[in-house]
């Protein structure tokens, strides 16, 4: 995963002459805040010799937050020098933190990301900076949790990965509705959602999932063979 992520970053940062972090988007602020949290947390784990906990946390950041979320979103704004800068800064920090766990792979990638005068093993630990916004991070975490939930529901009923779905939201608070509306592009991009509707009633043929007091509904008509899905679920229940 980290090798493919590095290839993506390297292919897209050509022409980046200087790091520009002055005009961060909400998603940029989110990943930078999560990255800063990782740097602080990993320093504590390493000082306490909690290598297993640190490795697990680093794995989660790379896979779930950097690769599955930010890199996917970056494809929409990859021409921006700010997006390129954020990708470079976060990847460079990841390689520094990863080195004690995967020295050979991280050293090889470090050498490819820039014209280096020092080896990764000689590089300083990532420096904390002011690019943190806890309020934005918490808000975006909530949105990405919805993305994960929708993906999980899709998988549980075998909706084809490429299929676009209708997402209905029932009993959302005013703040929840505004948050979803403001971040609709993220849900549509990462969860393969074609349209989002806010409803007051449920209908037959919908699969439901409750999240933070509201109900997410996905109409299944035209997406799966409902009869076959019922048969599959019935067999699984009988085998429990």
Contact 217, 173 (CB under 8 A): no
Which candidate, 47, 139, 138, 153, places its Cα nearest to that of 100?
47
Which are the contacts of 236, defined by CB distance < 8 A and separation ≥ 6? none
Look at residue 14 in the predicted model and tell me its pLDDT: 81
Look at residue 130 in the predicted model and tell me its pLDDT: 65
Look at residue 141 in the predicted model and tell me its pLDDT: 94
Which are the contacts of 167, defined by CB distance < 8 A and separation ≥ 6? 150, 187, 191, 193, 195, 196, 197, 216, 217, 218
Q: Output the tens digit of pLDDT for each of the chain's 240 residues.
A: 899 999 999 999 887 888 888 889 999 999 999 999 999 999 999 999 999 999 999 999 999 999 999 999 999 999 999 999 999 999 999 999 999 999 999 999 998 887 778 899 998 888 877 677 889 999 999 999 999 999 999 999 889 989 999 999 999 999 999 999 999 999 999 999 999 999 999 998 899 999 999 999 999 988 887 778 778 878 888 887
Look at residue 103 in the predicted model and tell me its pLDDT: 93
Look at residue 209 in the predicted model and tell me its pLDDT: 96
Which candidate, 120, 125, 101, 97, places its Cα nearest to that of 109?
120
Look at residue 116 in the predicted model and tell me its pLDDT: 79
CA distance 90 to 72: 15
């Amino acid at each position: 995963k980290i090798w493919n992520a590095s290839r993506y970053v390297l292919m897209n940062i050509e022409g980046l002459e200087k790091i520009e972090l002055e005009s961060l988007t909400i998603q940029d602020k989110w990943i930078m805040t999560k990255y800063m949290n990782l740097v602080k947390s990993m320093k504590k784990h390493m000082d306490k010799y909690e290598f297993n906990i640190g490795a697990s946390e680093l794995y989660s950041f790379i896979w779930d937050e950097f690769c599955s979320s930010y890199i996917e979103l970056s494809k929409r704004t990859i021409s921006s020098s700010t997006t390129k800068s954020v990708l470079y800064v976060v990847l460079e920090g990841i390689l520094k933190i990863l080195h004690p766990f995967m020295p050979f792979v991280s050293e090889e990638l470090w050498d490819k990301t820039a014209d280096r005068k020092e080896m990764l093993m000689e590089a300083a630990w990532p420096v904390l900076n002011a690019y943190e916004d806890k309020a934005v991070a918490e808000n975006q975490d909530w949105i990405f949790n919805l993305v994960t939930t929708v993906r999980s529901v899709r998988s549980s009923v075998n909706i084809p990965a490429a299929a676009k779905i209708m997402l209905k939201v029932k009993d959302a608070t005013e703040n929840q509705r505004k948050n979803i509306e403001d971040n609709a592009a993220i849900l549509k991009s990462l969860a393969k959602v074609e349209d989002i509707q806010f409803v007051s009633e449920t209908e037959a043929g919908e699969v439901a999932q409750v999240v933070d007091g509201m109900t997410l509904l996905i109409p299944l008509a035209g997406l799966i063979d409902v009869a076959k899905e019922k048969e599959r679920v019935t067999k699984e229940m009988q085998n429990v």
